[in-house]
Amino acid sequence: MATANRGKQPSLSQLRAFTAVAEHLHFRDAAAAIGMSQPALSGAVSALEETLGVQLVERTTRKVLLSPAGERLAARAKAVLDAVGELLEEAAAVRAPFTGVLRLGVIPTVAPYLLPDVLRLVHGTYPDLDLQVHEEQTSSLLDGLAAGRLDLLLLAVPLGVPGVTEIPLFDEDFVLVTPEGHPLGGRRDLSREVLRELPLLLLDEGHCLRDQALDVCREAGRDERAPVTTTAAGLATLVQLVAGGLGVTLLPRTAVD
């Protein structure tokens, strides 16, 4: 059994070479992927094996296979490289704020209406910031924030999630949307009580705007057992369902204006 060289530490170059081989299972393809010559790549993997004291790859004349130890350590090696990359990104952000990558999560119900102005403002004010947008439902966005996959979220509050800081940006009213010719259409003197008996269309489960719309209905005295027979994945679909006469819905004013 090989013995680890305790006087040495793996280098990033060695880890990068091994990770490339683990991904491509081919020395030539791995070398091309990271811009290293094939002999240098093979030497780096061999040096890493000597440093760790384990065989990482099984070399044959036709292909490369990971050894059991290689399969176990490949994910660890990639995690180290990812962590170093994040360290460099953080250092760059400290040197020059509002540069580098910012991963923004947005709920799909507001993304089409807010993102054009947000993106225009960000690009104009911080041209060196690489803003990456991820459109997902609230629960997925919160999971991404907790896992470090996302940096910032744009969604409906309050959430009351431990460990998450909420900064309200603006308040927005709900607007009752009705089919054309509906008796309540266009009226501005409506009270919430009208929601008690109306056939209500809502977003699917998991949308925070659905929960907020239901809160409004409960405040209006609507029976929580009142059925919601039709749901939609997005606001645009809700509008089409209303136009088709299936019921009424509540939309954020931004989506209407």
Q: Which sequence spans correspond to the domains of the chain?
A: 12-88, 96-154, 174-256
Topology of the domain comprising 174-256? D-Maltodextrin-Binding Protein; domain 2 (3.40.190)
**Helical H runs in the chain?**
12-24, 27-34, 38-52, 68-95, 111-125, 138-147, 208-219, 235-243, 253-256
Please check whether the two domains, 96-154 and 174-256, share a CATH topology: yes
**pLDDT tens for residues 64-79?**
899 999 999 999 999 9
pLDDT for 7: 64
pLDDT for 103: 93
Q: How far is CA 162 from CA 135, 140, 146, in A?
A: 22, 16, 11
pLDDT for 98: 80
**pLDDT tens for residues 156-181?**
888 888 888 999 888 888 888 899 88
Residues 6+ apart with CB under 8 A from 209: 107, 109, 110, 156, 203, 252
State the pLDDT confidence band at 84, using cuts at 50, 70 and 90.
very high
Query: Per the structure block, which two tokens stand in for 191?
Result: 């009270």
State the pLDDT confidence band at 60, using cuts at 50, 70 and 90.
confident
Q: Is 16 exposed, middle or buried (0-12, 13-18, 19+ CB in 10 A)?
A: buried
In terms of pLDDT, which residue wins out, 32 or 227?
32
State the pLDDT confidence band at 1, using cuts at 50, 70 and 90.
very low
Class of domain 96-154: alpha beta
Percentage of residues in the chain with pLDDT exceeding 90? 38
**pLDDT tens for residues 114-169?**
888 889 999 999 898 899 999 998 889 999 999 999 999 998 888 888 888 999 88
pLDDT for 114: 84
pLDDT for 10: 92
Q: What is the mean pLDDT of residues 35-42?
A: 94
Is residue 136 left, alpha or beta, with left meaning phi > 0 and alpha meaning psi from -120 to 50?
Answer: beta
Q: What is the mean pLDDT of residues 101-108?
A: 90
CB of 60 closer than 8 Å to CB of 1: no
Is domain 12-88 in CATH 1.10.10.10, yes or no? yes
